[in-house]
Structure 1
Amino acid sequence: MKRSVLAAALGLALSVGGASAEGFERNIMTGGPQGTYIQIGRDIAALGADCGLTLNVVESAGSLENFVGVRNRRNTQFGIVQSDVLEYLKTFEANDPEVQKAVKGVRIMFPLYNEEIHVLARKDIASMKDLAGRKIAVGKKDSGTFLTATLIMDILQVKAGERIDINPDEALPKLLSGEIDAFFYVAGAPAALFTGNAIDKAKFHLVPITEAPLLATYTPSRIEAGTYSFQDQPVDLIAVKAVMMTYDYDIKRNAYHRESCKAVADFSSLILTGLDKLKATGHPKWKTVDLTALPPGWQVGVCVKAGMALDYKPACKPPAEKAGGGADDSNEEYLNLLKQRLQQ
């Protein structure tokens, strides 16, 4: 990834104002209205609502805005971020004061699921190399899609004829009308953008992404046939991990930090104990979540660890206690394993 691209995006994100204790709220930064992040955020908010905790789900441009928002944005305790964004922030952190400022205090909450890298294109674009010289939408500059698209094209040394910095919601109609040739979209499949719009399979398809140089950074993946109405065959491509981030609040500092740490601990506990419910009733991607698959080099927050204690009780009022109370033996064993792995 080019250092200048990262710096420009960080400059946009760091302009957000600092946090304040006034009018305390709980917020999670997600993504666009048709993306997977926003659905995951709504699922987590529903867990809170079940026991009287309000979590506001905030639309955003995506990963980098979310990352810096967790550190800087008012009343924002949570954000969902791509693992390749984390990797490259770490790469630049040692020698770049601006990146150091952005990274300071931001911590892992939980790893979530793999996000597929979709490249929807005209049918005559058969491979990533065919993007050379074409008009391509790569996402807004403070989004994870933008950074991923930039990195992939740099690795493959593919030079677009024109790069358009718009989000996927804006890019899809431009592709369908012939104004652009392709666009990148990083989202967990099935992505609502592709399931809620009519896409002519005779004209458009998902481009396979199987180039060996990309496998040092990304995970091989596959979108099975029929996932989208325009897709008759399975498509091999690559994926990144979505990670839920938070801030390392200091309960000795002030009331805002104490309230925010409590919110992080509460929702850490709710996600741990409610994972089976999320898998049963939430977005399909919850079924693939492994809460122990931590990206290397990142620490779990202190407030997260507090909420992982088996005897921790969220500050909420459940509608009704289940008969017998407490977790069954298998659930307790699972929670103990998670606690051990995440606290290492």
Structure 2
Amino acid sequence: MSPSNLNRIILAFLFFAVSSSFLRAAEFEKNIMTGGAQGTYIQIGRDIAGLGKSCGLTLNVRQSAGSLENFVGVRNRRNTQFGIVQSDVLEYLKTFEANDPEVQQAVKGVRIMFPLYNEEVHVLARSDIAGIKDLAGKKIAVGVKDSGTYLTASLILDILQVKPSDQLAINPDAALPKLLSGEIDALFYVAGAPAALFAKNEIDGSKFHLLPITQAPLLATYTAARIEPGAYSFQKEPVDLIAVKAVMMTYDYDVKRNAYQRASCKAVSDFSNLILNGLDRLKETGHPKWKSVDLNELPPGWQVGICVKAGMAMDYKPGCAAPKAEPDGNEEYLNLLKQRLKKP
């Protein structure tokens, strides 16, 4: 064997050894898909990440367009074990699954982790617009196309046969300034109240209000809800409307398949255990919506993941020990030196 070939083999071996050592030392990457910067999803994601941080587990909270992107992310995006999705998105997919091979493929392997809380369907409009039916012929914002808000707005308008003159596919953060400036007449936003977008921005209650949504045809899909007075500074009266359930989704990883699947399943089991045992803490210190979480309210027709069930077992112990720094090889020498120096 020539020296040059030997050098290449040695270099390749050293690279492999160093790379393998690095991979063993590095924490396995875990991500949760949430929503926009001012939405409820991202705050819920940060609360869950806080549980992980308290025991040495890192969970990256990723912004997204919302429910549809999150569902696809859990299905297809690497190192993305969790996503928050609206229940009407799940119902929509389940409705079309039986007769559509593409939808069947899209939902394959995606599982329920936990039901979370109700998300109110906010429709903020000019004060002269009395209800949803009055959006006919108006210019409205319905959320970006990969979002749950977009799907919900589209379903509501279709069910009630309301036809606006224009529907802008922009996110609520971008839509609110357009509404306040008079460029559009109303905007849809599905978010757990109090939604930070409305709570943190100055909105004139004499010019804008939340529309009531009480039409009977909608109650077959949605839950009746109410936003109490004072939830937002601009809304002085209670508003009866509808809500969807936010659901935490994951993937049914196969621990027999490969190392990635095993590590991802372990991550799902760990965070299932942390959420289950930390729910009281989340209700006390997290977003106000945690107070209404009922883990028994599973959406019909969807299965709970195997890795989730493993983490819920009474004897399950999550890997909560923070990783210790590897010794650099000189620690023993320094300890011996200190001992010798202490001797007379």
Give the shorter-chain TM-score range: 0.7 to 0.9
Query: Equivalents in 2 of 1:68, 1:144: separation in Å?
Result: 12
Q: Which residue of 2 aligns with 1:267?
A: 271
Q: Which residue of 1 aligns with 2:36?
A: 32
Q: Which residue of 1 aligns with 2:104?
A: 100
Partner secondary structure for residue 257 of structure 2 = coil
Query: Equivalents in 1 of 2:250, 2:239: separation in Å?
Result: 34
Query: Equivalents in 2 of 1:147, 1:199: separation in Å?
Result: 26
Amino acid paired to 2:84: I
Q: Deviations over 1:36-63 (max 9, x none)?
A: 0000000000000000000000000000
Q: Is the 8 A contact 1:31 1:61 kept in 2?
A: yes
Say which of 100, 110, 114 aligns to 1:110.
Answer: 114
Partner secondary structure for residue 274 of structure 1 = helix
Partner secondary structure for residue 77 of structure 1 = strand
Q: Which residue of 1 aligns with 2:151?
A: 147
Q: Which residue of 2 aligns with 1:207?
A: 211
Say which of 238, 245, 250 aligns to 1:241.
Answer: 245
Q: Is the 8 A contact 1:112 1:243 kept in 2?
A: yes
Q: Is the 8 A contact 2:126 2:209 kept in 1?
A: yes
- Structure 1 residue 183 and structure 2 residue 187: aligned? yes
Q: Which residue of 1 aligns with 2:224?
A: 220
Cα shift at 1:24: 3.8
Amino acid paired to 1:100: Q
Query: Equivalents in 1 of 2:191, 2:270: separation in Å?
Result: 27
Number of aligned residue pairs: 298
- Structure 1 residue 47 and structure 2 residue 76: aligned? no
Q: Which residue of 1 aligns with 2:296?
A: 292
Q: Deviations over 1:93-120 (max 9, x none)?
A: 1111211111000000000000000000
Identical residues among aligned pairs (%) = 81
Cα shift at 1:310: 1.0
- Structure 1 residue 192 and structure 2 residue 191: aligned? no
Q: Which residue of 1 aligns with 2:7?
A: none
- Structure 1 residue 70 and structure 2 residue 74: aligned? yes
Partner secondary structure for residue 136 of structure 1 = strand
Q: Which residue of 2 aligns with 1:169?
A: 173
| Alignment root-mean-square deviation, CA | 1.2
Partner secondary structure for residue 198 of structure 1 = coil
Q: Deviations over 1:277-298 (max 9, x none)?
A: 0000000000000011100000
Amino acid paired to 1:129: K
Say which of 265, 272, 282 aligns to 1:278.
Answer: 282
Cα shift at 1:318: 7.1
Query: Equivalents in 1 of 2:281, 2:27: separation in Å?
Result: 31
Query: Equivalents in 2 of 1:37, 1:276: separation in Å?
Result: 19
Query: Equivalents in 2 of 1:296, 1:45: separation in Å?
Result: 27
Q: Deviations over 1:161-207 (max 9, x none)?
A: 00000000000000001110000000000000001100011100000
- Structure 1 residue 83 and structure 2 residue 87: aligned? yes
Cα shift at 1:74: 1.6
TM-score (norm 2): 0.85
Say which of 125, 138, 143 aligns to 1:134.
Answer: 138
Q: Which residue of 2 aligns with 1:5?
A: none
Please say which structure displays the higher CA radius of gyration.
2
Query: Equivalents in 2 of 1:160, 1:254: separation in Å?
Result: 51
Query: Equivalents in 2 of 1:166, 1:117: separation in Å?
Result: 16
Partner secondary structure for residue 160 of structure 1 = coil
Partner secondary structure for residue 80 of structure 2 = coil
- Structure 1 residue 312 and structure 2 residue 316: aligned? yes
Query: Where in structure 1 are there 5+ consecutive unaligned residues?
Result: 1-21, 320-344
Amino acid paired to 1:101: Q
Query: Equivalents in 2 of 1:229, 1:281: separation in Å?
Result: 23
Say which of 57, 64, 78 aligns to 1:60.
Answer: 64
Query: Equivalents in 2 of 1:104, 1:169: separation in Å?
Result: 32
Partner secondary structure for residue 250 of structure 2 = strand
Query: Equivalents in 2 of 1:76, 1:24: separation in Å?
Result: 11
Q: Is the 8 A contact 2:57 2:322 kept in 1?
A: no
Partner secondary structure for residue 246 of structure 1 = strand
Amino acid paired to 1:52: G
Query: Equivalents in 2 of 1:249, 1:291: separation in Å?
Result: 22
